[in-house]
Structure 1
Amino acid sequence: MKAVLDGTVIAEASKDELVSIEGNWYFPPSSVVEGVLVESPTPYTCPWKGECQYYDVTSGEGALKDRAWSYPTPYPTAIERVGTDFSGYVAFWKEVQVVD
């Protein structure tokens, strides 16, 4: 599967490497193109997943603020609930299309 922004692939991995949580596809950190994500200071803690790290997603058009996120160290109960360790996996907001 691919995460595509403005016609450019910014992450790519096989579907069995991705994790689906609440309708979002989470890509393994190694599948994200280097330099596309810039850490954001925006704070957020999900009640069941834990502390979130937001990222600005850069493209030729500039940066889209807080359009990607991950859980660097999700709660153990979240890993149990999801059924796999998704530490550091990255999900994208709607401007980034996830396609087969």
Structure 2
Amino acid sequence: MGLDVISPALLVLAISLSWNRFTCIFNLASSASLAAAPLTTAATAISLSAFGLAFAGNTPWFGFLIVLAGVLASSTVKKQPAAITVALSAISLAAYLPFSPVQM
């Protein structure tokens, strides 16, 4: 159990912690100020970056499993404050970058 488990887990964590705030921009019930908030912008950037990295460094099926696990795990963090979850998702995405198989 080495880096093969840690790097996808960090991506799942980044997606799951930022997903709820990211999806509020598509919800008609949310206000325009919430959708335009800086925290929502950060969550969107983190979520889309983790989504892209899940597919860039892995096979399409494994990337799909990473994204699916992140989306399913996002239901467990709905009650947490958004600032804390977005900050933790940024930390997990930053922790993933040294393990990233994609050369930049």
- TM-score class, shorter-chain normalisation, is under 0.3
**Could you say which structure has the greater relative contact order, defined with CA pairs below 8 angstroms and 6 or more residues apart?**
2
Considering fraction of residues, name the structure with more helix.
2
TM-score normalized with structure 1 length:
0.25
Considering fraction of residues, name the structure with more strand.
1
TM-score normalized with structure 2 length:
0.25
Greater Rg by CA: 2
